[in-house]
């Protein structure tokens, strides 16, 4: 009988089970599959922000050796069109492309060249000539577009109480505006696809976070049965939300495969990652906070103005965090969108929370300063165990514990409330804090477990169409299977990323770990329950899986299971919570600054693997640092193209920009959240990091930084806050 303790299951910090494949270059990403007779295609981008194509000359490109096809709106396959103008973009939205001569933004796909080699396709794409009737007044200026702002839908606004009365009741009011720029996701793996069309059936090796939704988009766009579409994403080299939905390069590759009768590979270039794979839009967030002298909040208003494209609608819910994080009786949240001639934005890591928490947590720090209260005490005083936006209790909420434990580990007691008073030579030293929250969704998920008996050893294969986007899905699913079958992880094989496998919600939104692992557990439990029932063994009796197979006289067995939210889940508000602490050193003369220390404390349910979870938090913090210090996509004010178009000018943090980081996970198992007590963690790590940095800079310099990224130039130009002595 196998010893159940001889496992490396849930909760252990084991190495990634797929790590050996990655270090040996054997983990296949979308563009690395060997497909016979494969050819290559290169997308062509518009060079105007708005207008019409009046003529196209493809002759020079078509004469080149190896060129198989030049596709434009003139000869493209007809695809399904949107039912209405400004449809809401989602992960299952259709993705029509090359359907008209209209140009809506600089960089929009207007053509595709298919050739025998990648180099031939790239060169030929440069030879296709387009003449335009250009609209000289595209909407590319944020301020000039304000007059076209509109309310997207009824869910865009939320209110409780009376915001005007709450502000009037306050002893102190903070009224400020925060700005965050356009950002781009930029995973290391470029977006890519290898698509084939065989007798009406589509197979796509694609870098997608949600393969099931990708099949829906493809089938709906081409108007073919969903059963005829297969999407495979065995490994995804990062996504951060940019690979949630199907982008146009996938549709162009499938179209080209049908037209040339061969599999077609399209790899999006790094410059095209700026114009064709989504982005986080610029947000202007007006905050109004009212509080009594004793620190009790009376009012909180969060009004966001953002932009979307002229054809599709996406709104980042920046105010969502302000609806639920603090106990405030009078609350107003609004979102407005402006159509602009820029590509459609879409979800980027912690959409809404990452940007919204910057505004909220900086405003909370500003109010604490006005009240002359410690920022932690101010937050604790306004804590709540009830989500006032839904009138549901939190399934668990350890925010106060995160703040107190983080303060102890960070050494918050050494902070000086008065800015510019903590010094070391020419350095001004500042401490900053911010609270973090992130909803922890849990979605219905299916899984299949296949058992194989080999002598006295049971090997298990767990299948689901979930994806691993670098987060460790393979590992935590293997650990769960190991745990609930009572076998070592070494005897578990996990197969992910194929739409032929049982359906899951895919990777994104911090729902992956809870959804995948509970489904894996359910499949294992179903197998054990069925095998016991076949031999009239009581469910509560412990029998090793090897003995169950032997008693059933089976060499192989498989079972499917599913997991979904309970009634208790639906009656509660389920979130992960955390706190960020940051120590900043700012040079008094140049105002160049360095992050010295960071502490992140999180309560995110049961931690399935501390090693992979730690990596997720470090990654989130790094993106938060980038948001605060370096990342911004700039629009050229005359033509509407992006000035930033490579890693040479779009700056992301490197090792020298980072600091010593301590990560603390509080022990928590939230059984209301799900049976395993697991919550999402991937997006909690980025949430409010930027605010902790900005708050630390104020504590060091006495200057409030309300526009990201925070550059030395902005610091030099900023004035001192009232009450700060130089």
Question: Looking at the annotation, which residues are catalytic?
Answer: 683
Instruction: Lay out the sheet containing 192-198: strands in order across.
Output: 67-71, 109-115, 39-45, 264-267, 192-198, 201-206, 229-232
Pairwise CA distance, residues 710 & 705, whole Å: 7
- Cβ(572)–Cβ(392) below 8 Å: yes
Tokens of 517: 């692992």
Cα dihedral 509, 510, 512, 515 in deg (nearest 10) = -100
Q: Which residues are CB-contacts of 713 (< 8 A; sequence separation ≥ 6)?
A: none
In angstroms, how far is CA 288 from the centroid of its own chain?
Answer: 28
Looking at the DSSP assignment, which residues form a beta bridge with residue 44? 111
Q: Which residue has the tokens 């301020």?
A: 143
Tokens representing residue 625 in the block: 């640092």
Angle between helices 353-371 and 610-629 (to 10 degrees): 70
Q: Which residues of 566-597 are buried (b: 16+ CB within 10 A; e: fewer)?
A: eeebeebbbbbbbbbbbbbbbeeeebebebeb
Fill in the DSSP letter of residue 144. Answer: G
CA distance 59 to 321: 55
Q: d(Cα 675, Cα 13) in Å, to the nearest integer?
A: 21
The per-residue DSSP string of 417-480 comes to SSTT--EETTEEEEEEEEEEEEE-----EEEEEEEEEETTEEEEEEE-S---SSS-HHHHHHHH
DSSP category for residue 498: B
| Residue showing tokens 């220390």 | 597
| The two structure tokens encoding residue 208 | 């997608």
DSSP codes of every residue in 589-602 = TT--EEEEEEEEEE
Q: Which tokens is 134 given?
A: 């250009």
The position carrying tokens 């409030």 is 704
* Cα 270 to Cα 649: distance, rounded to the nearest angstrom: 12
My answer on whether omega of the bond before 709 falls inside 30° of 0, hence cis, is yes
Which whole-number Å values give the CA distances from 535 to 1, 308, 543, 548, 626, in the listed order? 17, 61, 12, 8, 58
CB 361 within 8 A of CB 434: yes
Question: For residue 209, how far is the Cα from the chain centroid?
Answer: 10
* C-alpha neighbours within 13 Å on the C-beta side of residue 455: 1
Residue 594 CA: distances (Å) to CA of 122, 355, 430, 618, 725: 42, 22, 11, 17, 22
């Amino acid at each position: 009988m196998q010893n159940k303790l001889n496992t490396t299951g849930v909760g252990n910090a084991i190495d990634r089970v797929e790590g050996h494949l990655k270090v040996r270059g054997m983990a296949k990403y979308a563009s690395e599959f060997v497909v016979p007779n494969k050819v290559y295609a290169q997308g062509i981008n518009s060079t105007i922000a708005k207008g019409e194509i009046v003529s196209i000359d493809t002759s020079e490109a078509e004469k080149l050796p190896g060129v198989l096809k030049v596709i434009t709106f003139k000869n493209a396959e007809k695809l399904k069109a949107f039912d209405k103008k400004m449809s809401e973009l989602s992960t299952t939205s259709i993705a029509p492309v090359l359907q008209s001569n209209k140009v809506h933004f600089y960089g929009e796909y207007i053509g595709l060249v298919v050739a025998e080699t990648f180099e031939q396709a790239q060169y030929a794409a440069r030879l296709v000539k387009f003449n335009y009737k250009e609209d000289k007044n595209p909407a590319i200026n944020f301020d000039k577009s304000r007059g076209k702002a509109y309310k997207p839908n009824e869910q865009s606004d939320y209110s409780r109480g009376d915001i005007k009365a709450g502000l009037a009741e306050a002893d102190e009011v903070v009224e400020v505006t925060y700005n965050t720029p356009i950002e781009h996701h930029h995973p290391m793996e470029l977006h890519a696809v290898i698509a084939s069309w065989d007798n009406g059936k589509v197979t796509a090796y694609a870098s997608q976070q949600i393969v099931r939704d990708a099949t829906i988009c493809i089938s709906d766009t081409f108007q073919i049965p969903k059963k005829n579409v297969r999407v495979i994403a065995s490994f995804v080299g990062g996504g951060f939300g940019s690979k949630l939905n199907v982008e146009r390069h996938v549709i162009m590759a499938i179209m080209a495969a049908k037209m040339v009768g061969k599999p077609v590979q399209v790899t999006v270039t790094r410059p095209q990652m700026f114009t064709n794979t989504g982005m986080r839009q610029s947000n202007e967030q007006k905050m109004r906070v009212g509080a009594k002298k004793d620190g009790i909040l009376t009012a909180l208003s969060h009004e966001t103005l953002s932009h979307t494209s002229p054809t599709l609608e996406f709104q980042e819910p920046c105010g969502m965090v302000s609806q639920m994080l603090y106990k405030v009786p009078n609350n107003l949240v609004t979102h407005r969108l402006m159509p602009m001639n820029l590509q459609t934005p879409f979800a980027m890591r912690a959409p809404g929370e990452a940007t919204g928490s910057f505004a909220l947590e900086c405003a909370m720090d500003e109010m604490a300063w006005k009240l002359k209260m410690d920022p932690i005490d101010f937050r604790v005083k306004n804590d709540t165990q009830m989500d006032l936006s839904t009138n549901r209790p939190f399934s668990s909420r350890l925010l106060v514990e995160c703040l107190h434990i983080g303060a102890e580990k960070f050494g918050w007691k050494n902070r000086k409330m008065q800015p510019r008073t903590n010094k070391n030579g020419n350095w001004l030293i500042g401490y900053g804090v911010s609270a973090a929250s992130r909803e922890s969704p849990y979605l219905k998920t299916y899984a299949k477990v296949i058992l194989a008996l080999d002598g006295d050893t049971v090997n298990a294969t767990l299948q689901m169409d979930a994806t691993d986007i670098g987060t460790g899905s393979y590992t935590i699913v293997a650990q769960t299977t190991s745990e609930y079958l009572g076998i070592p992880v070494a005897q578990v094989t996990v197969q992910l990323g194929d739409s032929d496998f049982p359906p899951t919600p895919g990777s994104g939104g911090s729902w992956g770990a809870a959804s995948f692992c509970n489904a894996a557990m359910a499949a294992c439990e179903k197998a054990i329950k069925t095998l016991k029932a076949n031999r009239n063994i009581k469910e509560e009796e412990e029998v090793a899986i090897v003995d169950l197979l032997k008693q059933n006289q089976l060499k192989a067995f498989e079972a499917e299971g599913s997991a979904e939210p309970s009634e208790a889940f639906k009656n509660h508000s389920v979130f992960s919570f955390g706190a960020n602490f940051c120590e900043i050193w700012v040079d008094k003369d140049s105002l160049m600054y360095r992050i010295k220390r960071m502490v992140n404390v999180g309560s995110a349910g049961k931690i399935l693997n501390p090693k992979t979870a730690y990596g997720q938090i470090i990654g989130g913090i790094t993106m938060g640092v980038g948001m605060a210090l370096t990342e911004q996509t700039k629009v050229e004010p005359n033509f509407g193209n992006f000035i930033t178009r490579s890693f040479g000018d779009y700056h992301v943090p490197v090792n020298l920009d980072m600091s010593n980081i301590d990560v603390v996970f509080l022990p928590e198992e939230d059984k209301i959240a799900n049976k395993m007590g697991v919550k999402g963690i991937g997006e909690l790590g980025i949430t409010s990091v930027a605010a902790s940095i900005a708050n630390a800079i104020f504590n060091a310099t006495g200057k409030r930084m309300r526009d990201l990224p925070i550059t030395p130039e902005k610091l030099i130009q900023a004035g001192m806050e009232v009450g700060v002595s130089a």
